[in-house]
Structure 1
């Protein structure tokens, strides 16, 4: 029952129609499907594990992006500026992720608290995966020295 509720609510996790939102919905649906094989308590444990893994993967993508920026074939002032902007965007992303995923959880209305937490965790995973993909793409596009 819980997995049906959560999968039915995936469109609420992101507004369909633009590429980032579609990626977000896809990531949320995938993680809910992967973890949906478990009991409700097992599902929460699975989602928490997936969030931890996605957080580590995101940190690795940020480190790779920082390294790519340092090796960027560009004037030093632009390299420094990009590094500062990456750090600022990471901080703002964390704030956005917390606020947005709290909002997504609230869209579960009167569902039991565990279901709301499952929605929040799926949202965190999806946003982490989306940002990881974006940073990986941007780092790969930078011409090195």
Structure 2
């Protein structure tokens, strides 16, 4: 079973704003397709977990940057509040989209629905982590 290299996650978090994100559902499923269906599910579960860790790290970096942001406190507090609102909206949107992605497995048997869902979750988490990294890059620190 492939293990997701920490260097891969670091490279993702340091991608420039202009660089396209190389991670999408299809690429993730293709990468894991060398395994049996159960192995593919496990591979994608590892990607989903790694993407969750990348997202948590990006959120932590952004909260730290907001605490040190060289801006009036009312704007800092507004940004923190809106980050929470955006995070909740992201989670609902991701979960809804990934439930839809799962349904595209149709009448397939086995782990197909979960394979589609896990690939979707990983893609969304990685993209959100990148968005948050871009937000941090624009904040002038004290």
One fold, TM greater than 0.5? yes
Select the residue among 26, 30, 34 that pairs with 1:33: 30
Cα deviation for residue 26 of structure 1 reads: 4.2
Select the residue among 46, 55, 60 that pairs with 2:57: 60
Structure 1's consecutive aligned runs of 4 or more residues displaced over 4 angstroms after TM superposition are none
How big is the alpha-carbon RMSD for the aligned residues of Structure 1 and Structure 2?
1.7
Any idea what SS the aligned residue of 1:54 has?
Answer: helix
Counterpart check, 1:116 vs 2:113: yes
Give CA deviations for 1:19-60 in whole Å, capped at 9, x if unaligned: xxx85x842233222212211111111111111111011011
Tell me the residue number matched to 1:125.
Answer: 122
Counterpart check, 1:95 vs 2:88: no
Q: Gapped runs of 5+ residues in structure 1?
A: 1-21
Give CA deviations for 1:69-125 in whole Å, capped at 9, x if unaligned: 111111100001101111121122111111110011112222225111101110000
- Greater shift in the superposed pair: 26-35 or 99-108: 26-35
* Distance in 1 (alpha carbons) for counterparts of 2:109 and 2:99: 15
Tell me the residue number matched to 1:70.
Answer: 67
Q: Gapped runs of 5+ residues in structure 2?
A: 1-19
Any idea what SS the aligned residue of 2:111 has?
Answer: helix
By percentage of residues, which structure has more helix? 1
* Distance in 1 (alpha carbons) for counterparts of 2:106 and 2:75: 46
Q: Which has the higher contact order (CA 8 A, sep 6+)?
A: 2
* Distance in 1 (alpha carbons) for counterparts of 2:67 and 2:27: 34
Q: TM-score, normalised by structure 2?
A: 0.80
- Greater shift in the superposed pair: 56-65 or 29-38: 29-38
Q: TM-score, normalised by structure 1?
A: 0.78
